[in-house]
Amino acid sequence: MKQGLKFVLGFVFIGLLSIGFTEQSAPSIAQQRTTFWDIWINKCFPDKDWSKTTFKTMGQDYTVFKSTNSAVYNDMKALNSNEIKLQEFVESGSTMPEEVPVKKGDEFFKIVPKGNNINGSSAYYLSRTQLDKIKANPGKLEQILGLPLSSVNAEYDVFEIMYEGTKGYVFQSRIAPTQQFASATPDVKYAASGGGIQTLVLDNTDAAKWKKSTAKIAEINPQTLPKIENQIGIQK
């Protein structure tokens, strides 16, 4: 009887050990995604130093936009007079920004790396429709949003911004394709296709108009490795 009990206990112990070894040898999907992005960051965003990398958006021409869309340009400038930022906003889109009216209670959303917040002035947000599309296809999140390598992560948090004014406007455009490469190796490029619809909330720091959530309202934890295509200078 004692010998039988020892055999059973020994079998259970060996089984537990094997489970432990299996878990140790099989990294979680979050760990795999972290490793995946670390490789790309090392290639194209070394030391996470912006002085060692170039990030390009293949978007609209800012000069052409100002000359052909003067009314929209003037309305954008009324909310943010920084010409450098206005150029960035326009060139981040593959289509010209379109003015969209907003009313009290309208909500928009921002996806950030897990643990971050939306306390800063970044103007890039998403509509509910766009957020739902990304949540339905999380493996392509980084591609759809055209994210620079400074913004990629294994997992993400979602925050909300709500309009509390009486009448206002935001701007929407389709996200342009992007490329990023290290200055030392310009032929090796990380490319993102873009294609999602971005909502530019240019006056998002105006607390009298906009209320930002201080806590995340949702999480996006992709269960697959990022789906990227057409990377340049990389042997597959």
- Report pLDDT digits (tens) over 157-168: 999 999 999 999
Furthest-apart CA pair in the chain: how many Å? 92
Q: What residues contact residue 67 under an 8 Å CB cut-off, 6+ apart?
A: none
Rounded to a whole number of angstroms, the distance between the first and last alpha carbons of the chain is: 59
Q: How many CB atoms lie within 10 A of CB 138?
A: 19
* pLDDT (tens digit per residue) in 16-73: 444 444 445 678 999 999 999 999 999 999 999 999 999 999 999 999 999 999 999 9
Global pTM?
0.86
| Angle separating helix axes 70-79 and 83-91, nearest 10 degrees | 120
Residue-range domain boundaries for the chain: 28-220
Query: For 217-227, what is each residue's pLDDT tens digit?
Result: 999 999 999 98
